[in-house]
Amino acid sequence: MPTRLSAPNIAAVTHEQTRIRTRVPHISSPAVKGASMTTTTKERVAYFNGEIVPESKALISFRDRSFKYGDGAFDMTRTFGHKIFKIEEHIARFSNTLRYFQIDPHMTEKEMIDKSMEVLEANLPLIDETEDYWVGQRVSRGTDIVGGDMWEHEGATVVIECTPLPLKARAPLFKDGIDVIVPSVRRTPPESLSPRAKSHNYLNLIMGDLEAKAYNPAAWAVLLDMQGNFAEGIGSNFFTVKDGVIHTPRSQFVLGGISRETVMDLAKGLGIPVVEDDIDPFDAYVADEVFLTSTSLCICGVRTVNGKPIADGTTPGPITKALMDAYVDFVDFDWVSQYTSRLEA
């Protein structure tokens, strides 16, 4: 029996409160119908509640609970040279998130993977061979029923979409390194809501990011947990290197990033010790190296933390560089050059 992306014990009252009726637009264009479709316009397509439609036709009700309350979840991977990265691992993580939130998309993991591949294949003709996509899956609990509604769709709102990677905008990070700022906003503690679930409600991280960018518009915020140790940023995991040992925050306090796990595995393959540990700002200030991992960046060196240079301020450090090289070999694609080739002279 295929694995379902569902919560095993959703109360009946929850089901009744969150049934949705969202109109699915009917699209007659042959460019967006059928498993072997090809994109014939310059508009990307998305999977939306059972159909693949142009993005402009994937219309979500303002009564959708993800819009109203952030009551939804998502996951995101990327492509390397148009080949999708660890889609099975991403969808398995997404399944755990949906089970935690008790949201049932009424799709199996295999169906979610197959539709993700279908959407990607339809959108690839819209980018050139040097570009790549984020590939995302988004599910909300659905739309709240209001008396008199006449909708055709019931259940969760499900969207699968592609977004071009911001390669040019992020290229300078691979030349100069990232400036990290630690905001006063603390990461939501796991006693309130587990950070291991990838929620649509990013306000906690966004508030921290806004504070950091008020000091430095190019900075990346990394929030501390309630004990004053590093947690995570928006879509990024935090690492330090000291005396040849890699340290990263404990998994209880962060989203278990697929890139994070990949880097930890690569480090072990290189014989570099990796420790999940409490890391406070002092540890970062005196580290030999600091780097972030994320879906789009993979690995990128950090130049400063709160304005303080890491070591001599040069990035990437030797261990970070070794991990970047190993990551390039692992995916068989030079994503570092993909970024740096877009640097302005």
CA angle 50, 85, 118 (to 5 degrees): 25
Q: What is the rounded distance in angstroms from the CA atom of residue 291 to the CA atom of residue 293? A: 7
User: What percentage of the chain has pLDDT greater than the value 70?
Assistant: 86
pLDDT confidence tier of residue 344, bands split at 50, 70 and 90? confident
**Are 6 and 106 within 8 A, CB to CB?**
yes
Quote the pLDDT of residue 36.
Answer: 38
**Per-residue tokens: 216:** 């430095």
Owning domain of residue 60: 12-164
Whole-structure pTM value: 0.86
Cα 178 to Cα 181, 288, 298, distances in angstroms: 10, 15, 13
Residue 206 has pLDDT above 50, yes or no: yes
Residue 1 within any structural domain of the chain: no
Average pLDDT estimate for 93-111: 96
Average pLDDT estimate for 124-139: 97
Which of 1-5, 97-101, 194-198, 210-214 shows the lowest mean pLDDT across its residues?
A: 1-5
Domain boundary pick from 116, 146, 164:
164
Higher-pLDDT residue of 320 and 148 is 320
Which of 14-23, 87-96, 276-285 shows the lowest mean pLDDT across its residues?
A: 14-23
> Could you tell me which of 10, 22, 11, 304 has the C-alpha nearest to residue 154?
22
Residue 68 shares a structural domain with residue 208: no
Q: What CATH number does residue 187 fall under?
A: 3.20.10.10
Residue 159 shares a structural domain with residue 203: no
Q: Which residues contact 118 (CB under 8 A, 6 or more apart)?
A: 35, 47, 52
Higher-pLDDT residue of 10 and 219 is 219
Average pLDDT estimate for 275-285: 97
Pairing of strands 298-305, 178-181: parallel
Looking at residue 312, the DSSP 8-state letter turns out to be T
> Could you tell me which of 287, 312, 315 has the C-alpha nearest to residue 299?
315
State the angle between helix axes of 109-123 and 87-101 in degrees (0 to 180), rounded to the nearest 10. Answer: 130
Residue 187 within any structural domain of the chain: yes
Residue 24 shares a structural domain with residue 156: yes
Which of 71-80, 150-159, 194-203, 228-237 shows the lowest mean pLDDT across its residues?
A: 150-159
Quote the pLDDT of residue 145.
Answer: 79
Q: What is the rounded distance in angstroms from the CA atom of residue 242 to the CA atom of residue 222? A: 19
> Could you tell me which of 40, 122, 38 has the C-alpha nearest to residue 82?
122
User: What percentage of the chain has pLDDT greater than the value 90?
Assistant: 82
Residue 67 shares a structural domain with residue 137: yes
**Are 27 and 33 within 8 A, CB to CB?**
yes
Residue 345 within any structural domain of the chain: no
**Are 152 and 99 within 8 A, CB to CB?**
no
Please, what's the b/e burial string for 237-251 (b: 16 or more CB within 10 A of its CB; e: otherwise)? bbbbbbeeebbbbee
Residue 263 shares a structural domain with residue 249: yes
For the chain, the straight-line distance linking the first and the last C-alpha, in angstroms and rounded, comes to 56
Residue 140 shares a structural domain with residue 177: no
Residue 221 shares a structural domain with residue 317: yes
Residue 313 within any structural domain of the chain: yes
Quote the pLDDT of residue 303.
Answer: 98
Q: What CATH number does residue 22 fall under?
A: 3.30.470.10
Residue 59 shares a structural domain with residue 176: no
CA angle 270, 276, 277 (to 5 degrees): 130
Residue 256 has pLDDT above 80, yes or no: yes
Residue 157 shares a structural domain with residue 202: no
Q: What is the rounded distance in angstroms from the CA atom of residue 223 to the CA atom of residue 14? A: 33
Residue 36 shares a structural domain with residue 53: yes
> Could you tell me which of 131, 130, 87, 76 has the C-alpha nearest to residue 110?
87
Residue 319 within any structural domain of the chain: yes
Q: What is the rounded distance in angstroms from the CA atom of residue 18 to the CA atom of residue 1? A: 27
Residue 261 shares a structural domain with residue 132: no
Query: For all residues of the chain together, what is the average pLDDT?
Result: 89
pLDDT confidence tier of residue 34, bands split at 50, 70 and 90? very low
Per the structure, the count of domains in the chain is 2
Domain boundary pick from 164, 185, 206:
164
- Own/partner contacts of 170-174, CB < 8 Å, gap of 24 or more, are 170/296, 170/297, 170/339, 171/339, 171/340, 171/341, 171/342, 171/343, 172/343, 173/297, 173/300, 173/339, 174/300, 174/336, 174/339, 174/340
Quote the pLDDT of residue 40.
Answer: 52
Domain boundary pick from 115, 135, 164:
164
